[in-house]
Structure 1
């Protein structure tokens, strides 16, 4: 292990950024190793055929599953590849054979709510405080009094950088015998997700810095027994495990290879070190932007995440500001409209989500640009 600072190693492992990238909550910048691994696999497909190349990539994909298992508290055999986080939730809910009711946060991700509705789930709200953070004791009482089929938690939302008490809720669910499903799209590689939840699903492209179009789903064996995947149909003459039926083989294998390399790099850099640095990045970002006119920082300075949400004052339009920041300064952020959390978010906000390689100069440039944007 080198003594070179994490942020410098992270920066040198990927192409130079064109501008300022503050958008890892949407899509991180891939490293050279992940890009080259995906490209080499695609070339190998052209040389020997896609299915032969897929067989040859088995050790890399197995290593990717093992790395995801280490981050989620599962076994490598519990992990399957998907195409996205939403795909992972679709697989779980469409396969679930228990009661079609789910308890989740008021601030649940809008597309997740749409998937729940599409599969006929009755959605119940878990109790939260004024910040939208889960109240664990109140939740334990509510879940014991009115047991849902599933409990669903998004430990870190798309619209707000509030870290939810995932480990505490996992303990509650275990004590009550309730299955816990975790949306770790923003949390995997960002917060500690190794809490032995019944199912964890995520994407490759955010904090793990893998390619787009890849996701993962980890399912514990006792939970898998309660799943009946719709495709392919169960065939006694051609038996398949639940995991084999969940993982569709006709997919972008090159992207899965790239992701496997990316998550391996994440573990090699040190998951704890990355989480610590991301929390530091969040503190630096919020401290720097706290006095920028025209904006209010939503999260507390010491919230242990790298996501900073800016609520505009007056008639400032976050979507217009995002476009202006890219066009004028090469600063990439995310404008979050109310569809991201329709039961909690009252107006659009601007989200900044830098990774571990953030610099003070980038923050100062961003602060100045945001002040100017408020006057445009």
Structure 2
């Protein structure tokens, strides 16, 4: 843990304060920042399209890294501007019945994309923690199959790991495509689980730039898609994957993401996952006895996300603002809109990356006590 943490920390600019907000936006490495900057400079020197051709090997390496992390192939991967864009591309291209099954705690912006694309949402069974009940889901999907099944493998408002691999097996057994939102899961937990599509942003646990993401689709699912652009009736010589990937893109961000993905593979995805899980346990243990707050996740949940519910009237939004202004500590205020059909009140989310120390967490616990008393 210490070696990985030291390398991660040394590869980045010195943090101004304490960063416990990787579930929103991780800190990019100097190499990622430099690669994106160099590409932008190269565009100015030789022209955007010449620079794009020169960057192709780096971006292709990024596709290959995504393939490794999703269990697919490089040809199954397209770059997007982020997770919501990826979901919109997929759903707007769907040719089957516009019904989708998902959990009650589905991410609010995902529900908005589903509604905008005319999808009727069906609710999958979950237990009191919000975790999918696989046996009940299997029965429901067999009795009344939707067009698609969508699973957010790790939610924005709660660090509970969903049984994605088990659901993939269920879906394959009944012939239903499974789409996984891996925005919080990619680079955090195992995402090579046999899904038909996996999408994510770059800026969270992979620690790439903002404004770029990815969508990986199996060939079998791609065959069932009909992208809006260019109009299919034009019969232009584009594959589905070529049609999905927009050419007018921020290639500097794609270069940065590709470098970040290379760093992830070099560090060992399994090593990163193990350290993040241990940090989650340490965070929950450290915060368990802070007055006025309740830790939502079980202490041994294998994620680095810890969600805090106020139990004595503290306002998570004001607490977050105080922590930034007074202590330079960045956390997440998670509003009800993140899971509008499940959340009853906003929460405070803590999401350290691998360079966070036990001392950092003790500092945060003390600051949380102070913030709670002040606001």
- Normalised TM-score (structure 2): 0.98
Equivalent residue runs for 1:206-285 within 5 Å:
206-234=204-232, 238-285=236-283
Q: CA deviation at 1:214?
A: 0.3
1:87 aligns with 85
- Residue 127 of structure 2: which of 115, 129, 144 is its match? 129
2:168 aligns with 170
Question: Does residue 1:305 correspond to 2:276, yes or no?
Answer: no
Mapped partners of 1:314, 1:274: distance in 2: 35
- Residue 61 of structure 1: which of 40, 59, 62 is its match? 59
Equivalent residue runs for 1:1-376 within 5 Å:
5-234=3-232, 238-376=236-374
What whole-Å deviation, never above 9, does each CA across 1:60-89 have from its counterpart, x for those lacking one? 000000000000011000000000100000
SS in 2 for 1:33: helix
Mapped partners of 2:191, 2:174: distance in 1: 20
Mapped partners of 1:62, 1:260: distance in 2: 8
Q: CA deviation at 1:373?
A: 1.3
Q: In the alignment, is the contact (CA less than 8 A) between 2:83 and 2:183 conserved in 1? A: yes
Mapped partners of 2:306, 2:132: distance in 1: 19
What whole-Å deviation, never above 9, does each CA across 1:129-171 have from its counterpart, x for those lacking one? 1101000011000000000000000010000000000110011
Q: In the alignment, is the contact (CA less than 8 A) between 2:23 and 2:204 conserved in 1? A: yes
Mapped partners of 1:39, 1:127: distance in 2: 46
Mapped partners of 1:344, 1:329: distance in 2: 32
Mapped partners of 1:148, 1:235: distance in 2: 28
Q: In the alignment, is the contact (CA less than 8 A) between 2:103 and 2:123 conserved in 1? A: yes
Runs of 4+ in structure 1 off by over 2 angstroms are 234-238
- Normalised TM-score (structure 1): 0.98
Q: Which moved more, 1:313-322 or 1:226-235?
A: 226-235
Q: Which moved more, 1:226-235 or 1:42-51?
A: 226-235
Mapped partners of 2:245, 2:195: distance in 1: 19
Mapped partners of 2:12, 2:137: distance in 1: 43
Q: CA deviation at 1:360?
A: 1.3
Q: In the alignment, is the contact (CA less than 8 A) between 1:234 and 1:240 conserved in 2? A: no
Mapped partners of 2:224, 2:240: distance in 1: 10
Mapped partners of 2:324, 2:60: distance in 1: 39
Mapped partners of 1:36, 1:126: distance in 2: 44
What whole-Å deviation, never above 9, does each CA across 1:281-303 have from its counterpart, x for those lacking one? 00000000000111100001000
Mapped partners of 2:235, 2:199: distance in 1: 30
Q: CA deviation at 1:187?
A: 0.3
Q: Which moved more, 1:355-364 or 1:226-235?
A: 226-235
What whole-Å deviation, never above 9, does each CA across 1:318-357 have from its counterpart, x for those lacking one? 0000010000000000000100001111100000000011
SS in 2 for 1:326: helix
Q: CA deviation at 1:314?
A: 2.4
Mapped partners of 1:4, 1:254: distance in 2: 32
SS in 1 for 2:100: strand
Unaligned residue ranges in structure 2 (runs of 5+)? none
SS in 1 for 2:127: coil
Q: CA deviation at 1:56?
A: 0.8
Q: Which moved more, 1:191-200 or 1:350-359?
A: 191-200
Quote the RMSD (CA, aligned, Å): 1.0
Q: CA deviation at 1:313?
A: 1.7
Mapped partners of 1:366, 1:132: distance in 2: 27
Mapped partners of 1:237, 1:335: distance in 2: 47
Unaligned residue ranges in structure 1 (runs of 5+)? none
SS in 2 for 1:374: helix
